[in-house]
Amino acid sequence: MAVCFAAVAPDTLARLRAAPGEIENYLQPDDGEGPPFETDVDKAWHGLHYLLTGRADGGREPFSLAIYGGAELGPDIGLGPARLLTPEQVVRLAAALDSLTTDELTARFDPQDMQARAIYPDVIWVRDGNDALAYLLDNFERMAEFYRDAAARGDGVLQWMC
């Protein structure tokens, strides 16, 4: 289980809001050509949420929006509906993510607490220690860059479990 992200231009976002049944075809078209700007954070999604919020779920905005936040949009596309972040939320989130340093994220990494809270995949945090942290930090950088680029274009973002 992973979390995927697609940046969506405002005009496309308006079309998908008007016809949410088209979201699955937009994200996973039959021709294999997905959205032009997309990425994923592999299985690091829950660990990243924990580093950003200190919680297994929920938390304060804008950090709580980064992984699987925003409003549900459309039907179930396999592991639940997609979630939407507006262009304004993307701008706020990108700025917040850019404000974090590697040292701050490293200080928030608590393998024992993550295992106790069943942060997915809960078996790696204690077992893999610094390697698990490196995995989180690599995925954080990819995610932060994705949001930064989406914000610069004025895009919204769709998130979904993939």
Could you tell me which residue, 91 or 30, shows the higher pLDDT?
Answer: 91
For residue 90, pLDDT beyond 90: yes
Tokens of 105: 């994220």
DSSP letters spanning 66-94: TTT-SEEEEEE-SSSEEEEE-HHHHHHHH
> Which pLDDT does position 72 carry in this prediction?
96
Considering the chain, what percentage of its residues have pLDDT values greater than 70? 100
Domains of the chain: 3-25+36-161 (3.40.1760.10)
